[in-house]
Amino acid sequence: MGTLYLVRHAQASLGASDYDELSARGQLQAQRLGAWWQAHGQRFDAVWSGTLRRHAQTLQGLGVALHGLPAAQRFAALDEYDGAALVRAVHPGPLPAVQSPEGFRSYFRLLCDALAQWMAGTLSPEGMPDWQTFSAGVRALLEQARAQHAGQRLLVVSSGGPISTAIAQVLGSAPEVGIALNMRLRNTAVSELGVSARRLALQTFNTLPHLSAPEDVALQTYA
């Protein structure tokens, strides 16, 4: 059986004018994961990623220490949903500022509410596909991974939405379960799926082996 390594991108720039850019902390997170894998002899047969800048920058950070990383195939189905469009759809007007703890909590409460409505088909944010289309894109890539990479080690760098959707599908859970999974995913966290020609199976979820030392607590982030 092979392994599909789902990695959520490193910390981006929440609250900045351009979210799709790794923070200094995010760059360090990615480099630390690459160094941890290099030290443990990890190698990959193939690499997939989304098309966003934070995905590419995360891979670049991994490659600082992880030698021999294959060139990535990029798939739009691994891109994140538009969180700002979802929140605007349930909260007209200025978005909550995320610089304070209360603003952060307010934003993500609205996002969870919007995600539930989007999944139920009662919300259609401007410029976004419907939930069925988003979910089907993730499902198709899982099937492609099973068909093409059974018995291999496939690294996938993506975002919280596609990763949580993939895991919920593998578990056979209701789509709404993916919201809770999504909110718990940490930056550069690794989740592993066993891959055979017949099925996919969850092996680990949301692990941070490269940031597990007590002195690394400050490098563990959710957004």
Whole-angstrom distance, CA of residue 28 vs CA of residue 188: 10
Helix 160-171 with 131-149: angle, nearest 10 deg: 70
User: How many other C-beta atoms are found inside a 10 Å radius of the C-beta of residue 197?
Assistant: 11
Q: Please count the CA atoms within 13 angstroms of the CA of 200 that sit on its side-chain side.
A: 29
Amino acid of residue 28? L
Location of each CATH 3.40.50.1240 domain in the chain = 2-80+129-219
pTM: 0.95
Pairing between strand 153-158 and 200-207? unpaired
Q: What is the rounded CA–CA span in Å between residue 115 and residue 41?
A: 39
184 in Cβ contact with 34 (< 8 Å): no
Q: What is the pLDDT of residue 191?
A: 98
Whether the CA torsion 139, 141, 144, 148 is positive or negative: it is negative
Nearest-angstrom CA–CA distance, 128 and 22: 23
Instruction: Give residue 202's pLDDT.
Output: 98
Please spell the DSSP secondary structure of 120-185, one letter per residue. Answer: HTS---TT---HHHHHHHHHHHHHHHHHHHTTSEEEEEE-HHHHHHHHHHHHT--TTHHHHHHHHP
Cα end-to-end distance, the chain, whole Å: 32
Question: Is beta strand 200-207 parallel, antiparallel or unpaired with respect to 190-195?
Answer: antiparallel
Q: Closest Cα partner for 220 from 175, 190, 177?
A: 190
What is the chain's pLDDT, residue by residue, as a tens digit (223 residues)?
A: 899 999 999 999 877 778 899 999 999 999 999 999 999 999 999 999 999 999 999 999 999 999 999 999 999 999 999 999 999 999 988 877 777 888 889 999 999 999 999 999 999 998 999 999 999 999 999 999 999 999 999 999 999 999 999 999 999 999 999 999 999 999 999 999 999 988 999 999 999 999 999 999 999 999 8
How far apart (Å, rounded) are the C-alpha atoms in residues 126 and 129?
A: 9
Please provide the CATH number assigned to the domain covering 2-80+129-219. 3.40.50.1240
- The three-state secondary structure class of 76 is helix
| Rounded to 5°, angle at Cα 174 from 125 and 198 | 115
